[in-house]
Amino acid sequence: MNEELLRICKTAKETRFLVEKLTEDEKNKALLHIADLLENRSEEIIAENKKDIDNGISKNMSKGLLDRLTLTKERISGISLGLRQVASLKDPIGEILDSYKADNGLNITKVRVPMGVIGIIYESRPNVTADAFSLTFKSGNVVILKGGSDAINSNKAIVRIIKDGLTDLNITSDAINLIESTQREVTLELMKQKEYIDLLIPRGGAGLIRSVVENSLIPVIETGTGNCHIFVDETADIKKTIPIIINAKTQRVGVCNAVESLVIHENIKDKLLPELAKELRARNVEIRGDSKVSEVIDCTLATEEDFATEYLDYIISMKVVSNVDEAIEHINKYTTHHSESIMTSDKDNANKFQKSIDAACVYVNTSTRFTDGFEFGLGAEIGISTQKLHARGPMGLNELTSYKYLIDSDYLFRK
């Protein structure tokens, strides 16, 4: 096993008990102090970030990726603001979830505890480094970070400053651990460290997530793939529906809660499509429709693959159906279980849709773009879970915890 990885795993497992025992006050002071320190030492971060950007340019990294990689004074202030927000959230650890006397005489208390050690594998987005630390730390966990190799210098600088901030307050700097090795084999080895790591969260594109699910022996929470649909029922208010579709498709095209596919009731297509197509084209959105869509507006013909694709781009697929049942069947076939929405004035169809769609968030007359920890009032989020085990939808502090049962009695044994 890679020496650095083994050292970090062992350290993390030993350190988790120290982090679990920190009081809310200790954790908040540390988060606020680190927020200041990141701003005060922003030039140090920016200098290291410059190295990553230069490497990226020489490797012909795309504009989008370079933008995600870039840190500025303002963006660092944004990161610090995030830490301060997490400091303001309620500490979940120690919460009594249930407490009762069982029929057999046992006093049973179910109490919220940290997961222990959380591994996070992510792409070259240095802002995730501080975000992931703040959420895992506030929820009493030790974090092991494996960021994209293109951001390694930025990540090292951020982690160094966080460690300094913890040390300033006499808190173990091993609460945060960065794997500096950039070899792919080390990432694969990391996914096998079930003995040391309690939970693994991949943050990134579909390829990264698939690789983690296929290789990990550690329990995984899948996040972020969003092939989101909006179904426009025959009774939808067209005037109000078009701005929602435009918002869900174009406000930010690269995010998991953006809409990728429209399902349209055949009785509304003639009224909806011409106006909608005009608005979409004004924003350079390409339309890929089925044959019935193409009877009403000009468009590329959609393939099966289109319906299965999360574009994350200025493209939208469209399909015409003859009723809500057909819409549900189509969406359940292609959903990635993230966010789905119905536009309708028919309460029965709204209920049916919400009951039958197999997704974390099922909306009525609302943009899918709202699936987000802040928008849901969780205060922050580590990602959007698209699986059903443990957490579903936006994951805040509570979703980074487990529980245990504390039981006492006066020397009872089982009859």
Closest CB to a second copy among 305 and 410?
Answer: 410
Q: In whole angstroms, what separates CA 167 from the centre of its chain?
A: 29
Q: Return all residues near 413 (Cβ < 8 A) that are at least 6 apart.
A: none
Pairing of strands 199-203, 176-178: unpaired
* Least distance between a second copy and beta carbon 165 (Å): 26
Span from 45-53, 151-159, 215-223, 284-292 in contact with a second copy (CB under 8 A): 215-223
212 lies in the binding site for a second copy (CB under 8 A) = no
Nearer to a second copy, 193 or 241 (CB): 241
Binding mask 328-357 for a second copy (x = CB under 8 A): ---------------x------x---xxx-
The CA distance from 250 to 245, in Å, is: 8
Long-range contacts of 96-104 (CB under 8 A, 24+ apart): 97/403, 104/412, 104/414
- Given the rule CB under 8 A, which of 36-44, 53-61, 265-273, 367-375 is the region that contacts a second copy? 367-375
| Pairing relationship of beta strands 383-385 and 393-395 according to DSSP bridges | antiparallel
Cα–Cα distance measured from residue 56 to residue 317, given in angstroms and rounded to the nearest whole number? 33
Q: How far is the CB of 404 from a second copy (least distance, A)?
A: 6
Shortest spacing between CB 195 and a second copy, in angstroms? 11
User: What CA–CA distance (Å, rounded) separates 266 from 322?
Assistant: 5
Count of C-beta atoms within a 10 Å radius of residue 42: 22
Q: Shortest distance, CB of residue 152 to a second copy, whole angstroms?
A: 29
- In this chain, which stretch among 2-10, 27-35, 119-127, 387-395 interacts with a second copy, using CB under 8 A? 387-395
- Tell me if residue 82 falls in helix, strand or coil: helix
Residues of span 14-73 touching a second copy by CB under 8 A: 17, 20-21
Please, which residue, 33 or 229, has the CB nearer to a second copy?
Answer: 229
Q: Decide if residue 301 touches a second copy (CB under 8 A).
A: no
Please answer whether residues 211 and 122 qualify as being in contact, where contact means their C-beta atoms are separated by less than 8 angstroms. Answer: no
Cα gap 294→302, rounded to integer Å? 10
- Taking the C-alpha atoms of residue 176 and residue 380, their distance in angstroms, rounded to an integer, is 19
Shortest spacing between CB 324 and a second copy, in angstroms: 14
d(CA 22, CA 166): 12
Residue count, binding to a second copy (CB under 8 A): 67
Residues interacting with a second copy, by CB under 8 A? 17, 20-21, 100, 102-104, 106, 108, 115-116, 194, 198-199, 213-214, 217, 219-221, 237, 240-241, 243-244, 247-248, 251, 343, 350, 354-356, 358-367, 369-370, 375-377, 387-390, 392-393, 402-414
